[in-house]
Structure 1
């Protein structure tokens, strides 16, 4: 019987992803280390880095999202604070209105009733999407502002894509973005109580 850690293969990649999903779900992003994922998968940590690069990359792969949110939000950030609410809302609606992207995102959101699923959504959405937007735009009080933005966006997901509340569910994407954008802009740059 062979001893030591398993060499790299497609099965190894799948084992790493399975271990990462479990670990991220149970302990969140901050509580998960590449070393622990590697140990759970029975591989050397170098293989985790070989297959996935950074811990952020591993997290995105474990979430099974088809776009890299770090790249998708760049135009929102590069445009500066003015109009950021419109750019963010337009991006958000375009991603969620794409049927190919929506299915895995809905599966992730529907998992929030489970504490592990909630941790994945919180870590994935806040840490990888909204926190970089707040930092890139240089907003003051970014933790509070981005939590307010998250509340609006997650509420929209629930109303439009999960519960299908009318007329929000069937509203054209551009009209929906125009409706929500001023609120996002206020959360990003307006005075807060």
Structure 2
């Protein structure tokens, strides 16, 4: 007997635990890159661990299953978009459609945020598990926060319809690249889309 308690399954080795914050960040960044490059189906926890320079048990310790790692990676990529509810909270509701539309398109138009968004969305489009994570994240962290501001019994339905309008436009413009939408001027898109989003949120 050495007096040392056996290491529980999934518990990080002592040397990894000492570097916990940095190791966790490396895992999260590696996961984002692996999912972006290979998609959900072809990414493994072992591959993420190798890219991060850690043991696979450490990935499980911090994030759990592959699905949970994916959700954490999506949250990292979508961090800028998670600020979207502020477009509702700041200013009167009668202008929320334009503010929200302009914000969402701005996130997609920015090259720094568009590339990782594209990769993650492609995973969600091609895999049902990834799609479920994507829907859950959007519903819990974005749309429900917007629905709270709307004083109507169907607030969640309204926000989901607005989200469908914006996400659908983003898919057609940036992922599938359907013309002429893909090359249309962003201001033209805002002018046509914002009244529809406004109608979903505050219309009769």
Q: Answer yes or no: same fold by TM over 0.5.
A: yes
Q: Is the 1:17–1:62 contact (alpha carbons within 8 Å) kept by the matching residues of 2?
A: no
Shift of 1:170: 1.1
Counterpart CA distance in 2 for 1:121 and 1:42 is 20
Counterpart CA distance in 2 for 1:3 and 1:17 is 30
Q: 1:149 aligns with which of 155, 162, 173?
A: 162
Counterpart CA distance in 2 for 1:117 and 1:59 is 8
Counterpart CA distance in 2 for 1:175 and 1:71 is 23
C-alpha distance after superposition, 1:47-95 (max 9, x if no partner): x8xxxxxxxxx95555331644343431332213111111000001100
Counterpart CA distance in 2 for 1:70 and 1:100 is 16
The TM-score with structure 2 as length reference comes to 0.66
Counterpart CA distance in 1 for 2:101 and 2:24 is 38
Q: Give the length in aligned residue pairs.
A: 165
Aligned runs of 1:1-193 on 2, under 5 Å?
Answer: 3-4=6-7, 5-6=11-12, 7-9=17-19, 10-15=22-27, 41=59, 43=61, 62-65=74-77, 67-111=79-123, 112-191=125-204
Q: Is the 2:81–2:104 contact (alpha carbons within 8 Å) kept by the matching residues of 1?
A: no
C-alpha distance after superposition, 1:135-187 (max 9, x if no partner): 13444412211121122112101210111111211111122111101110110
**Judging changes above 3 Å, is the alpha-carbon distance between structure 1 residues 138 and 65 closer, same or farther for their aligned structure 2 residues?**
farther
Q: Is the 1:64–1:104 contact (alpha carbons within 8 Å) kept by the matching residues of 2?
A: no
Q: 2:135 aligns to what SS in structure 1?
A: helix
Q: Is the 2:97–2:197 contact (alpha carbons within 8 Å) kept by the matching residues of 1?
A: yes
Counterpart CA distance in 1 for 2:90 and 2:152 is 13
Q: 2:92 aligns to what SS in structure 1?
A: coil
Worse overlay, 170-179 or 119-128: 119-128
The TM-score with structure 1 as length reference comes to 0.69
Q: Is the 1:86–1:177 contact (alpha carbons within 8 Å) kept by the matching residues of 2?
A: yes
